């Protein structure tokens, strides 16, 4: 049975979907009903029982809340196993892009050992069922432009600016200790 919960966030209402102990996906536009037959992602956005008390959904909501509060840079959530081996390799590479940084499609293609597959990386990026948690918003065009984001370019811009602002400036030396 698919369970869902809704989370209000700075980028709008999010729908979290889970089955058992795994997060199936995050829907950035929950008012849009996805056709599970036309969408390759497993049941994300399909009919579900609203169950905000689910441990999996509660953990996802808590971690997303910490992220939006600037307290979390990495997620530790059980994700549903899905996607082709190629998609999984792209999603693993996305998860390695550091908070507040970006990579382009060609860089991701090279990281997974498929240097000529930038377009295929873009398609896999588009099929990422866990936006924010698996940070597909950190992938940009080769020229640095903000291209392609399932939640819209404005959300992508907001997430990237948020992450840049959430990184505290580094100081050359820590302040001196005074007893």
Residues annotated as catalytic are 136
Report H helices in the chain. 55-68, 85-95, 105-111, 118-126, 153-166
Q: What are phi and psi of 13, to 5 degrees?
A: -75, 135
Give the separation between CA 7 and CA 23, rounded to whole angstroms: 14
Q: What are phi and psi of 9, to 5 degrees?
A: -135, 170
Angle at 159 between CA 154 and CA 163, to 5 degrees: 150
């Amino acid at each position: 049975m698919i369970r869902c919960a809704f989370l209000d966030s700075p980028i709008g209402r999010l729908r979290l979907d889970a089955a058992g102990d795994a997060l199936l996906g995050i829907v950035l536009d929950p008012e849009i009903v996805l056709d599970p037959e036309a969408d390759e992602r497993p049941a994300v956005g399909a009919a579900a029982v609203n169950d905000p008390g689910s441990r999996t959904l509660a953990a996802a909501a808590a971690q997303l809340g910490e992220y939006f509060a600037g307290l979390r840079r990495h997620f530790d959530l059980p994700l549903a196993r899905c996607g082709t081996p190629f998609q999984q390799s792209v999603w693993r590479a996305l998860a390695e892009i550091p908070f507040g940084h970006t990579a382009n499609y060609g860089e991701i293609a090279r990281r997974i050992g498929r240097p000529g597959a930038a377009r295929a990386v873009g398609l896999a990026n588009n099929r990422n069922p866990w936006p924010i948690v698996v940070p597909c918003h950190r992938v940009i065009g080769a020229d640095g432009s903000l291209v392609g984001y399932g939640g819209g370019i404005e959300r992508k811009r907001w997430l990237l600016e948020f992450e840049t602002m959430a990184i505290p400036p580094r100081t050359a030396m820590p302040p001196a200790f005074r007893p």
